[in-house]
Structure 1
């Protein structure tokens, strides 16, 4: 006889170790038994641990367990005991161990599962494990376990944070495991099929925002009645319909008593809390609750949304802003202004919408009261029915980080996440990492879900969710005109701004002939016949190192021309005035000028902001550095320290670094503008081609226009957030020196083709307005570029 070594001992070849890792299974054998006097249709599963070593080598079933024979034995046992009532499922399980399985000599240990399909869906059952002792009986030891299983418990619940989730119950599925020591006889009160029904009732009457909270509260319910202190209960909650393309998503919580804080604090809900007739958001988080009478906070930050579609909409908005300030509700920042299609009630005029960031010492309820006073008593809103026409509508969108849920007020606003006309302007006022207080998801992420179509527009609710950026032009007689730009699909026609210099010394077309009114008006007539959109009148050359005309000289050149254009053409053409002087701006606005184009963005005259704010005109802010005599020496755009600023745009290339520096400098000026009352919807941005920039920098500005248009920064000290999102952008490459440097074309008048290339590229990269000398040639460039890049023709 031969031997082989095993763990230091010798054994004959052909003998085997006591291997018990093999399993013979029976899955969900359908049988009927009486349990506690009631007939139950059950599924019984067994896992029998044995060794296949001899059966596998001899191919002889006598060395294993015959599942066919065992299945018949279980079926016979059901028939033989048809009139016998077992007090509990676990008692039935113990009898299966002792009356049937103990006779299986090859079985070393076993697991028995007994379950029943619940009437309303899901299963309730027990799971028991036993090890066979030397005397052939099955016993509990450290390696075995017993547990109650509730699987696939399907409930319909109001759960989630989105509007559609609050107005419609959705399915949630629970899988629960409860460790329990079974002796085969003892009944543990409440731990039977009625527990599943109790859990289902709780879930269907609940009103949680998160499946996490639902899971933990179900855990608490179970642990409260569990006799074993150290048992760990597992609760899995799945939402099968939450994510398109996923079978389900969800969470699982495993907890013992010691791991749960305040085990007796199971969240309770009014039976109406789960109603789908009204929107309610529970708030179990004490951090987001505020008791007004005890708060030590004196100033709160709130975000308001406004909308109007009756009468003079711009006047309605401005009157509402004045009323807010009169009530000590200080406006910190405004969004852009948008035109939107009506929502919910479609048979009405388009709306003008926007958002405000305000500071107030009012409580949410007090703030709401003041907003309603403005709507109904000051602006005389008449509400004939919900979601109908209105002179003004003011809503609280956010208030600090609070969650408010009262019959009269919900904060965050209950429908904000389905409204593009709220989310787009709101995200101009809040940084990308600011979270929605309920969803804990960035507000910008919610906006992207709307913009990318992840959340489909219900045509029964709104014809289209497209928005148009509005730049309003209000005249002294109260009438209003608007420039419009596609905010979402960027498919608005490029506006052509034609340069009308009434100067003798401009860099490319300076001539004393420019000072003759007849010549100026002839050019105006030509511009209008060639369908330019804006005429930009300039009376002071801004070429580097040029001698600046006096304020009076500039006015004497510009004012007569502006008056003449407006007298002859009225509102047929928009007139912009190219000036950095506040007095010139004010006098020309009074004469009818529509737009102020400031090459210094207010740096050259500290009174400019007050003038622009006073008259509410569109304000083109051009980036430059230094002054007329020093700008050419200030062309270093190496990255500077961010300091107290958070820049949300990654800067990896030289061009992105340059645009980042331009963005920082323009943002600093924009903060001052907003503090002095200029509204965001008045602004048009110009990155400043040719101003304090060398050849390479000018090229990079054009190439990086998309980066420029999405620039974002936050001042950590003041909380001021500046973004360029959706602000129209003007590009002025016309005949600039960098074109001559690249093409070798001089004088400036020969740079028409180079200008055309810059205009086409600028439109392709996102410019909304182009400022040019050669308007006839550039008109065709704009038309072709719009056709190619925007599909407009």
Structure 2
């Protein structure tokens, strides 16, 4: 296998194309042969080693680009811009979450949609700038438009491979990156990636090493050496630079403790291949790389202080990197707040208006959102949400046959919303254990009249905030029909495993997608082989990550994905309890940005709750559901799917109040060092 890889890479002329070809043919096999490293990391390392200019060594650069838009179809412009960049030698390697923000500087304009991506390109800075400007022009941005005024798309280079660059047209790093919450928030999402390629932010050796070291193949010995060298480099850099700021900031002390705790003990990482198993090495390597990100950012900020010292001697009055860093050490400082999701969590949930003003948002000027396909955006942070269950089925386990007519379904929907539901989940296929399949056409016959009736109902249309409708289906045809009828979200209990067309259809629909964990199908999910786990939180998250990778490969953007660990699906009663107790771990095991995206949990009226309390009546299980829902929210769930919205909403109001009162740690850079503040 190694000879095949070497032969492929040595004959490559176009590195990105070769990497893509290799990914399509061999990544599964090779990823198993290289423990602890994902295939994308291997490919990016390979791509750095070759250029199109006579096979000379030429590094592919990691570049952070900020994206914004407030004119026209904002989200559609985002997608078009990313597609155009992909066609222009820029590969998107990582995505932030999406944010809706009040306009800065010039406030009399519509709100913006903002995000950031990590691009991989071998275009030099000014060539990349020209490419970005070409994309902006193609999407309708005028060259001489009002500065900071409305625009259909805005693409800014924030960081370029940790390098400094200055010309009449471009300055990198972006001179105002630290002033803008709509840049800091997406940047925090990118920096939190547990396998962040540090070259995007490093100012020193990591960049030089990756640019000059040719790729042959990676094995355990090489990985040992790379991890040890990385650690030595970071520790040495930290020791030298932190001494200058000794005693100035508790942040430095806390970061140093977190950093040094990861130092491998003697013999734990060796070059002889005997000290650790491949599994242990993979785990250790992941730990090392995950803690490199904050250290590298620290390294960049501190290295900028040399320039800051000279600026201060010259009498420069502008806010300096040192001032930024010192401010970041204060829990109540503006930079710390901008990197902590609790800062922009609104006290009331709604969506921004399109007239330049917020609606029901108080003083909030930035919030994480999910686009809904109709250019509206759902601001989901700030409180937990109840997803009311509306089963249009004759055979569901607790309410089958009750709401099969549109009239009864609308009455129940009104009741759920009045009781506190902000979402309605419409399903026409029972997913109880051993349920029988129905054909997609029959499922459509059941759900389409109800969805249309919900969309047209005057009472629901007048509700603020907007009531969202999800379609509970694992058929792509049903998902497409429901969205066309007015639904906003696709809720797939199979996570895409039961219909090969689901991912591509959802990608084209451009709506949020709920990926639930389930093994097998509703008829087989409780088989012994499907309910056996060694570590349920880690394994469920790992299998969800695999589904997400497939979904993203098919075109679904990570910022559109909601995850659901699947309580009651392919789990024993004990497994369900362990999963609810470990939801925080489940979140931490997800791939960013999913670690900070919504999590849905559905314990409502599950049989294991009835067994615990000794009653299987709906009334008794609703009380048990309220307790289970509170535990889920306390452990970081954002959405609870429930039959009885009133009981659950009351419980979640208390859980939200308790969670909001938790004191965050003094050092929390949006997931770098701790997730205990969620």
**Class of the TM-score when normalised by the shorter of the 2 chains:** 0.5 to 0.7
> Alignment length, in residue pairs?
468
Match of 1:672 among 528, 547, 550: 550
Indicate the SS of the match to 1:566: helix
The answer to whether the aligner puts 1:661 opposite 2:539 as a matched pair is: yes
Q: Residue in 1 aligned with 2:470?
A: 576
**Is contact 1:579–1:598 with CA below 8 Å preserved after alignment?**
yes
How far the C-alpha of 1:627 sits from its partner, in A, is 1.6
How far the C-alpha of 1:636 sits from its partner, in A, is 5.0
The answer to whether the aligner puts 1:770 opposite 2:640 as a matched pair is: yes
Cα distance between partner residues in 2 of 1:373 and 1:548: 50
How far the C-alpha of 1:357 sits from its partner, in A, is 3.3
Greater helix share, structure number: 2
Indicate the SS of the match to 2:403: helix
Match of 1:356 among 110, 117, 122: 117
Give the structure-2-normalised TM-score: 0.62
Cα distance between partner residues in 2 of 1:458 and 1:599: 39
Indicate the SS of the match to 2:116: strand
The answer to whether the aligner puts 1:710 opposite 2:609 as a matched pair is: no
Q: Residue in 1 aligned with 2:657?
A: 787
Residues 92-146 of structure 1 deviation map (CA, whole Å, 9 limit, x = unaligned): xxxxxxxxxxxxxxxxxxxxxxxxxxxxxxxxxxxxxxxxxxxxxxxxxxxxxxx
1:196-207 counterparts in 2 under 5 A? none
1:235-384 counterparts in 2 under 5 A? 295-297=56-58, 301-342=62-103, 350-381=111-142
Greater strand share, structure number: 1
Q: Residue in 2 aligned with 1:484?
A: 379
Indicate the SS of the match to 2:457: helix
Q: Residue in 1 aligned with 2:184?
A: 420
**Is contact 1:505–1:541 with CA below 8 Å preserved after alignment?**
yes
| Change in CA separation of 1:382 and 1:577 when aligned onto 2, cut-off 3 Å | same
Cα distance between partner residues in 2 of 1:420 and 1:303: 12
The answer to whether the aligner puts 1:685 opposite 2:584 as a matched pair is: no
Cα distance between partner residues in 1 of 2:293 and 2:102: 22
Cα distance between partner residues in 2 of 1:447 and 1:635: 42
How far the C-alpha of 1:594 sits from its partner, in A, is 0.6
How far the C-alpha of 1:564 sits from its partner, in A, is 1.2
**Is contact 2:425–2:472 with CA below 8 Å preserved after alignment?**
yes
**Is contact 1:306–1:355 with CA below 8 Å preserved after alignment?**
yes
**Is contact 2:163–2:203 with CA below 8 Å preserved after alignment?**
no
Cα distance between partner residues in 1 of 2:330 and 2:114: 21
| Change in CA separation of 1:445 and 1:470 when aligned onto 2, cut-off 3 Å | farther
Give the structure-1-normalised TM-score: 0.54
**Is contact 2:389–2:643 with CA below 8 Å preserved after alignment?**
yes
**Is contact 2:542–2:590 with CA below 8 Å preserved after alignment?**
no
How far the C-alpha of 1:330 sits from its partner, in A, is 3.8
Q: Which has the larger radius of gyration?
A: 1
How far the C-alpha of 1:700 sits from its partner, in A, is 1.7
5+ residue gaps, structure 1, are 1-287, 487-491, 640-656, 714-721
Q: Residue in 2 aligned with 1:551?
A: 440
| Change in CA separation of 1:787 and 1:712 when aligned onto 2, cut-off 3 Å | closer
Q: Residue in 1 aligned with 2:631?
A: 761
- Name the stretch that deviates more: 742-751 or 604-613: 742-751
Q: Residue in 1 aligned with 2:322?
A: none
Cα distance between partner residues in 2 of 1:289 and 1:625: 40
Cα distance between partner residues in 2 of 1:300 and 1:701: 40
**More relative contact order, 1 or 2 (CA 8 Å, 6+ apart):** 2
1:138-537 counterparts in 2 under 5 A? 295-297=56-58, 301-342=62-103, 350-381=111-142, 387-399=148-160, 404-416=165-177, 419-427=183-191, 431=195, 434=198, 436-438=201-203, 442-444=292-294, 453=330, 456-457=333-334, 466=344, 467-475=366-374, 480-486=375-381, 492-511=382-401, 513-537=402-426
How far the C-alpha of 1:290 sits from its partner, in A, is 12
How far the C-alpha of 1:310 sits from its partner, in A, is 4.0
How far the C-alpha of 1:503 sits from its partner, in A, is 0.5
Cα distance between partner residues in 2 of 1:292 and 1:456: 46
Match of 2:429 among 540, 554, 557: 540
Match of 1:742 among 576, 597, 612: 612
**Is contact 2:62–2:161 with CA below 8 Å preserved after alignment?**
yes
Residues 591-625 of structure 1 deviation map (CA, whole Å, 9 limit, x = unaligned): 11111100011011110011111011111111111
5+ residue gaps, structure 2, are 1-47, 207-233, 235-291, 299-324, 345-365, 663-678
User: What's the C-alpha RMSD, in Å, of the aligned pairs?
Assistant: 3.4
How far the C-alpha of 1:565 sits from its partner, in A, is 0.9
| Change in CA separation of 1:327 and 1:293 when aligned onto 2, cut-off 3 Å | closer
Q: Residue in 1 aligned with 2:251?
A: none
**Is contact 1:354–1:425 with CA below 8 Å preserved after alignment?**
no
Q: Residue in 2 aligned with 1:76?
A: none
Cα distance between partner residues in 2 of 1:678 and 1:481: 18
**Is contact 2:558–2:593 with CA below 8 Å preserved after alignment?**
no
How far the C-alpha of 1:344 sits from its partner, in A, is 6.0
Q: Residue in 2 aligned with 1:724?
A: 594
Cα distance between partner residues in 1 of 2:525 and 2:468: 30
Cα distance between partner residues in 1 of 2:564 and 2:329: 28
Match of 1:621 among 506, 512, 515: 515
**Is contact 2:393–2:429 with CA below 8 Å preserved after alignment?**
yes
Indicate the SS of the match to 1:474: coil
